[in-house]
Structure 1
């Protein structure tokens, strides 16, 4: 069975004779160059085994070789050894031990895609776009991402120290205590007559938890609910079927997303089920640069169907689907990018992201700070990841800029974007904005 993921990257020994090929033995198959490269690999491995200055762990060397091949394709393909595969399955189920942090790799560093809500990482104020350069004082620069994941996970109650690199801040250390990460992916509350639902990730429980949340909000509000804020900020994605399930809660049928693979006929379309849960209730969806993949699918579907106003900042731009392909007992699995996804209007989000209808910054940036970001090209997004897939439609991410709506100089609130969303739903011009979109 293959699991289909659209979130950021998570974190077998083959006999030597399998790599020894005679390039002239099968000239008709057209793979002579490949056989020669496999023969070269076998020769190099043999030299390492006999001539390297110290003994090597052949299993680790082979796993690193396989993983290197896959990670050279794009940032989200990788090899999972049996232990990592089991860990991935546990994480998808929504509970595991660790720090509560979604990561990928960029330029040899571990890049934080987003911290999960109410976890050691979020409570330590680790932020989307941070880089992790060392664990317990030992550098991890250039180390395979799966190795870094192993180091960050561990027994609940044990401590770990991370060295964080953050833009415009001196490097600093953060001490965290590992704990069981229970991905309660949906939280909610009612503020006056407006509902608020936060989805932090898309795991196996997300759709059911959302439906329960909406039912509770309707019961609490009675017939007085005048709007809903769906908060997808810093949501790194997850399972494709859960993105479709969440979208179904807000749509009465229609396409949610399509995926297209390598071959022209490899197209799958995913439609929303009929039976919208909160029909006629206006919705604002909040996104930012940490909203990725499944979060972008939901935002894109609601935007294209004119069901919601999208507010915040351009999303991360991860428009690819990974299939987890088991390799058999004791061989683990590969996590392979097998298709791109497209919104109902046939837009590829890869690299470009979802652009909000109403752009609102969470923090205030000066012209000097923006100029520094542009100069160093440090804006955090899928498009900036090494080996990122190109957008097959030629769409490009909007250049870094200062949104017109950003917190005032003397702002003392806690969440400017959320305040603006509530204000928009309470405003008298919201209905006219909705009709203009339709």
Structure 2
């Protein structure tokens, strides 16, 4: 069964290729046969002449690795170990730190820490490089090995050496492993406003968001002033769940479309009747770690002028991966389509631009820490519309609206400025003022999302 997924590169990346099927071999031309003969010659010489005996499966997996690494950063091969990692990433209940990581030039790079985990509490941030674990250098090893070292018995201590771009020297962070219970949806009420934190797009997330709205209403005993949908550092997940979450807040119109290699290979997803939030104000919080499925939701609500998008420009991953089973323990995760927001915009490379840019002033490194996005990945898909590099790199420009320092915010008890600003905006503007802000944003970024396509 093919399963569409839209998720930023996460946790473990093992890249490999499909074994050549008979039908595929029959379609290749003579030059391809010669290349395959050359490959088999190299394979045979390595098996017979390499200084140490090498297992055939290691050589084949290395060849698979090379094929898929020539495509894009999100196509990969999943063996039994990777399936287990994928399961624990979505199911949780393992002893670890709560990090989503990738490998870059032999170094372990942090995509994002999961909220309310040991790594998050210790201050590990997206874009950090982990060079040592408990004082032992891990550079040059595999990602699987690094992940296994970071996992362990809950309560046991661990120290990570971090290299953070923008800082002169590496530094150590210490923490204790804990049971990582990855809850995709959590909610709370602040200042009569419902805050829904969406951490991933695993199964049933759309239903969980709808249930969170009901729980917020029940907790207050009335309707809230509005809702904040917090998708910061959410790497994505299942396409169907991105559609389901968008549908919670939309009552009509297109949510997203995906387009494959062929011009006729287009699939569109539409909202069903009914807005669970009943038209109340919605602010969507995003940052550089908000990717794929998160960008589908943010783009849909932004194009339909249903939610005011706030924070930082998102990650910029506008591709869809399909999970193609190869056996009971392996599968191919292959990029098969690009997705587009209702107004016809691809977020590939450029991401979702917030209606209101709000820096995370409560982060002392927000100015010096570079943002890690899709455009920084090697062999990333290129957006069909040429993007301005200056726009892609503009993250820390001074904004006259925000003059408070991190220290001043701490004195005021504000440890999350972006969320504070979102809550303050809903409370200050109210439903009418929020609608005015949405109308102004629509004029600034006109789109055709209001048209219901059938």
- TM-score of Structure 1 vs Structure 2, range by shorter chain: 0.7 to 0.9
Higher alpha-carbon deviation: 63-72 or 380-389: 63-72
Match of 1:417?
A: 418
Match of 2:219?
A: 220
Deviation at 1:235, TM superposition (A): 0.9
Cα separation, partners in 2 of 1:134 and 1:341, compared to 1, 3 Å: farther
Residue 9 in structure 1 maps to residue 9 in structure 2: yes
Whether the 8 Å contact between 1:260 and 1:266 is mirrored in structure 2 is yes
Distance 2:28 2:202 in 1: 43
Whether the 8 Å contact between 1:362 and 1:407 is mirrored in structure 2 is no
Distance 2:49 2:78 in 1: 29
2:337 aligned to which of 336, 339, 347: 339
- Given the two structures, how large is their TM-score scaled by the length of structure 1? 0.87
* 1:238 alignment partner, SS class: strand
1:99-110 → structure 2 map (5 Å cutoff): 99-110=97-108
1:32-181 → structure 2 map (5 Å cutoff): 32-93=30-91, 95-96=93-94, 98-153=96-151, 156=154, 160-169=158-167, 170-181=169-180
Whether the 8 Å contact between 1:361 and 1:407 is mirrored in structure 2 is no
1:244-255 → structure 2 map (5 Å cutoff): 244-255=243-254
Cα separation, partners in 2 of 1:265 and 1:221, compared to 1, 3 Å: same
Deviation at 1:106, TM superposition (A): 3.1
Whether the 8 Å contact between 2:300 and 2:342 is mirrored in structure 1 is yes
Q: Deviations over 1:235-292 (max 9, x none)?
A: 1111111111111111102211111111112111111222210122111111111111
Higher alpha-carbon deviation: 139-148 or 235-244: 139-148
Deviation at 1:140, TM superposition (A): 4.3
Q: Deviations over 1:17-36 (max 9, x none)?
A: x99xxxxxx9x955233222
Distance 2:159 2:67 in 1: 30
Distance 2:98 2:3 in 1: 21
Q: Deviations over 1:79-121 (max 9, x none)?
A: 1112322432453445555432222333443321211112232
Deviation at 1:210, TM superposition (A): 1.2
1:258-277 → structure 2 map (5 Å cutoff): 258-277=257-276
Distance 1:61 1:137 in 2: 32
Whether the 8 Å contact between 1:360 and 1:403 is mirrored in structure 2 is no
Match of 1:389?
A: 381
Match of 1:351?
A: 349
Q: Any gaps of 5 or more consecutive residues in structure 1? A: 20-25
Q: Any gaps of 5 or more consecutive residues in structure 2? A: 443-454
1:430 aligned to which of 431, 434, 437: 434
Whether the 8 Å contact between 2:316 and 2:373 is mirrored in structure 1 is yes
Q: After TM superposition, where is structure 1 displaced by more than 6 Å over at least 4 residues in a row? A: none
Match of 2:202?
A: 203
Match of 1:257?
A: 256
Whether the 8 Å contact between 1:364 and 1:408 is mirrored in structure 2 is no
Cα separation, partners in 2 of 1:143 and 1:337, compared to 1, 3 Å: farther
Residue 402 in structure 1 maps to residue 397 in structure 2: yes
Higher alpha-carbon deviation: 107-116 or 302-311: 107-116
Aligned residues: 421
Distance 2:105 2:37 in 1: 29
Distance 1:58 1:30 in 2: 25
Distance 2:147 2:261 in 1: 30
Deviation at 1:433, TM superposition (A): 1.4
Higher alpha-carbon deviation: 293-302 or 177-186: 177-186
Match of 1:291?
A: 290
Higher alpha-carbon deviation: 391-400 or 266-275: 391-400
Match of 1:232?
A: 231
Whether the 8 Å contact between 2:305 and 2:439 is mirrored in structure 1 is no
- Given the two structures, how large is their TM-score scaled by the length of structure 2? 0.84
Whether the 8 Å contact between 1:99 and 1:120 is mirrored in structure 2 is yes
Whether the 8 Å contact between 2:126 and 2:371 is mirrored in structure 1 is no
Cα separation, partners in 2 of 1:108 and 1:424, compared to 1, 3 Å: same
Deviation at 1:380, TM superposition (A): 1.6
Distance 2:59 2:154 in 1: 30
